[in-house]
Structure 1
Amino acid sequence: MSKEAAYHAACVRADETRAQLAVSAQAAKARIAPARLKQDAVAKITASALDGVAYAAAKAQQRPVAIGAAAAAFGLFLARRPLAALFGRLYVRFRKQDTDLPEIDDG
């Protein structure tokens, strides 16, 4: 192989390597673009949330009574003030009915 042919082959390899480098740089640039990073983060969060929901649903199917009791306790906890007000009003109402009757019947 002559020196000119070797030089020409080296130039062709250099051009191919330069083109591969440019393609790799574009791919790296596309991977670290803010829109792509945001899209990847949203996809991971969505997948994690769906996995968590599926796991919770599977556990709930295994223990329906425990889940029902926990949900009822949580519901009562959230409604504690309205329930306390209701029972307070009922207590006062029943207490008033008892005191309205006279203790001594003069009749």
Structure 2
Amino acid sequence: MSGAGRYQEAVARAEAAKQSLISSAQTAKARITPARLKQDATAKVVDVAMDGMAYAAATARQRPAMVGAAGAAILLFLARRPLAALFGRLGVQNDETNPDHSETDDG
């Protein structure tokens, strides 16, 4: 092959490499746009949430008593102030002091 033929092949390879680089750069540019990053992040969060829900559902089916106990504990935790107020009022209403015993024992 002559020098001119090799030169033409080298130019063709260089042009193909240049087009490949430009195409790769455009693809990378499209992948890092804010809209695309937001879409990817949203899809990832949804996938993780769905996996977590599926795991929780499977665990609930395997151990319903444990899930019920955990749910009751969470419910009691969330309702602790109203329950404390209710029991506090019940305790005050039923608190009867014995008039036969004085608080000071002076006789």
Fold agreement, TM-score > 0.5: yes
Question: What is the one-letter code of the residue matched to 2:11?
Answer: C
Q: For residue 76 of structure 1, what is the aligned residue in structure 2?
A: 76
Deviates more, 1:29-38 or 1:44-53: 29-38
- Where does structure 1 lack aligned partners over 5 or more consecutive residues? 100-107
Aligned length: 98
Which residue does the alignment assign to 2:91?
Answer: 91
Q: What residue is the counterpart of 1:9 in the other structure? A: 9
TM-score by structure 1 length?
A: 0.73
RMSD between superposed Cα atoms in Å: 2.4
Between stretches 58-67 and 26-35, larger displacement belongs to 26-35
Cα offset, 1:44, TM superposition:
1.4
**1:52 and 2:56 correspond:** no
CA distance in 1 between counterparts of 2:93 and 2:3 reads 111
For 1:42, the equivalent position in structure 2 comes to 42
Deviates more, 1:23-32 or 1:4-13: 4-13
Regions of 4+ moved over 4 Å = none
Identity score, percent = 60
Q: Secondary structure at the match of 1:68?
A: helix
Equivalence for 2:32:
32
| CA offset digits 1:40-70 (Å, max 9, x no partner) | 2222122111111111111111111111111
Deviation at 1:95, TM superposition (A): 4.5
Deviations 1:49-106 (A, max 9, x none): 111111111111111111111111221121111112112223333457xx9xxxxxxx
Q: Which runs of 5+ in 2 are unaligned?
A: 99-107
CA distance in 2, matches of 1:6, 1:81: 86
Q: Which residue identity lines up with residue 66 of structure 1 in the other structure?
A: M
